Amino acid sequence: MKSVKISKTHVTTKYEAEDFEVFKNELFFYLLGKQKRLSFIPKLVSYDCSKLVICVENVGTTLEEYCNSGEELKTFLPKIKKIYDRFTKLGYYHNDLRYKNIIINPDTKCLYLIDFEFTSQEYKDLDDENIVKNLKKKKRTKSK
Ligand SMILES: Nc1ncnc2c1ncn2[C@@H]1O[C@H](COP(=O)(O)OP(=O)(O)O)[C@@H](O)[C@H]1O
Ligand SMILES: [Mg+2]
């Protein structure tokens, strides 16, 4: 289990000992974001490998909270596709893409990916909101 503390500026996640693998995976992607200066991954503020804590910048609110309807959510698909494609080009699949795991900065309207528990080099179909499927559909209609 993860316990997440949200302040105005920071989001601090503490992992239980049994979630060591999840901690390592999430830390990997925040470090990757830092190394490659990926604008769509919240900035890593600090981490503690002994305490299993990761602290990142609070970059806004979830798309799920931000949008009033499913229709409004759909208007963000092109922007989601952009960051999703950039991430897959680096060789990674988020694998838990859902509107709760996409954060929007309400001022800049920039989108961010969070929650890298299932992120890996292999694609796993865990997407129950069908975002990835909708992105793929968009790809097909575009190339026609
Ligand atoms: N960088 C961030 N900026 C703003 N809110 C965040 C950020 N990271 C996490 N959150 C908030 O914390 C919630 C839980 O974080 P998440 O890593 O998705 O944990 P869980 O595995 O419990 O879903 C998110 O749904 C979001 O509301
Ligand atoms: Mg989540």
Residue 143 binned pLDDT confidence (cut-offs 50, 70, 90): low
State the pTM of this model. 0.92
Residue 140, classified by CB atoms within 10 Å of its CB into exposed (0-12), middle (13-18) or buried (19+), is: exposed
| DSSP of 20-32 | HHHHHHHHHHHHH
Note the ligand closest to the C-alpha atom of 33.
1
Q: What's phi and psi for 66, nearest 5 deg?
A: -75, -35
Ligand 1, atom nearest to 115 Cα: 17
- Bridge-based pairing state of the strands 10-15 and 44-48: unpaired
Q: Tens of pLDDT along 4-39? A: 999 999 999 999 999 999 999 999 999 999 999 999
Name the residue with the closest Cα to ligand 1, atom 2: 58
pLDDT at 140 over 90: no
Domains detected in the chain? 2-143 (1.10.510.10)
Is residue 94 within 8 Å of 40, Cβ to Cβ? no
**Is residue 62 in contact with ligand 1, taking CB distance under 6 Å?**
yes
Name the residue with the closest Cα to ligand 1, atom 17: 115
